[in-house]
Amino acid sequence: MKAEILENLKRAVIEYDTEGAASWAKKAVEEGVAPLKALDALTEGIQQIGDAYGRGELWLPDLVGAASAMTTATPILEEEIRRKGMKRQVLGTIVIGTVYGDLHSIGKTIVATLSAAEGFEVIDLGTSVTAEEFMEAIREHKPDILAMSALLTTTAPQQAKVIKSLQEEGFRDKVKVVVGGGAITHDFAKRIGADGYEPTAPMAVELFKTIVR
């Protein structure tokens, strides 16, 4: 039964089945499946999808669909991990948001979803996030990575403002800063002192993995 549950968790991710993923996660908890093993099964599923995406066999909707299935199941298993006093091994913690004055959310949300599915703990602050709100989240969560999105050339400089706040408060060497969004280029990222930039969501997640490795 336990092996069947693990197999079904993996299959739910591969088949983009959000409802199935949640119900098999609940079933795993009920049947006493080790929650860390259940999480591993989900991860195997998302990695399979990610590899197929990397080979050009699957596309962004497949990747995001599988990630959504995975992120539906994960909180149920995480709750069980906490209840048992265990600790989940995460790849790292990411604070993410679209900068102040910018209301574009889709790119940022794809990055957040894919990162969570890959095993990062993601704190998504939403859109139009002020430098102060970013700083608050950094003080509270002490992330490995701060990821900021800006779609507009008018709002891109807000990323520089946040980096300046990090420097002023002595956090700059404690967190890696990755920037993205339609208005951002490699040159701009370099100019404002970010640690990294990638033009697409899957590439950003690969960069996050390199950073924490």
Contact positions vs other proteins (CB under 8 A): 56, 59-61, 101, 103, 106-107, 110, 152-157, 182-183, 185, 199-201
Q: Provide, rounded to whole angstroms, the least separation between the CB of residue 203 and other proteins.
A: 8
For residue 141, count other CB atoms closer than 10 A to its CB: 15
Q: Provide, rounded to whole angstroms, the least separation between the CB of residue 206 and other proteins.
A: 13
Nearer to other proteins, 43 or 155 (CB): 155
Nearer to other proteins, 33 or 156 (CB): 156
For residue 84, count other CB atoms closer than 10 A to its CB: 11
Nearer to other proteins, 200 or 210 (CB): 200
What is d(CA 181, CA 104) in angstroms, rounded to the nearest whole number? 9
Q: Provide, rounded to whole angstroms, the least separation between the CB of residue 110 and other proteins.
A: 6
SS3 95: strand
Nearer to other proteins, 65 or 196 (CB): 65
What is d(CA 18, CA 73) in angstroms, rounded to the nearest whole number? 8
Q: Provide, rounded to whole angstroms, the least separation between the CB of residue 65 and other proteins.
A: 11
Nearer to other proteins, 175 or 204 (CB): 204
Taking the CA of residue 94 as centre, how many other CA atoms within 13 Å lie in the half-sphere pointing to its CB? 31
Q: Provide, rounded to whole angstroms, the least separation between the CB of residue 29 and other proteins.
A: 33
120-124, strands of its sheet edge to edge: 120-124, 92-98, 145-149, 176-180, 196-197
SS3 148: strand
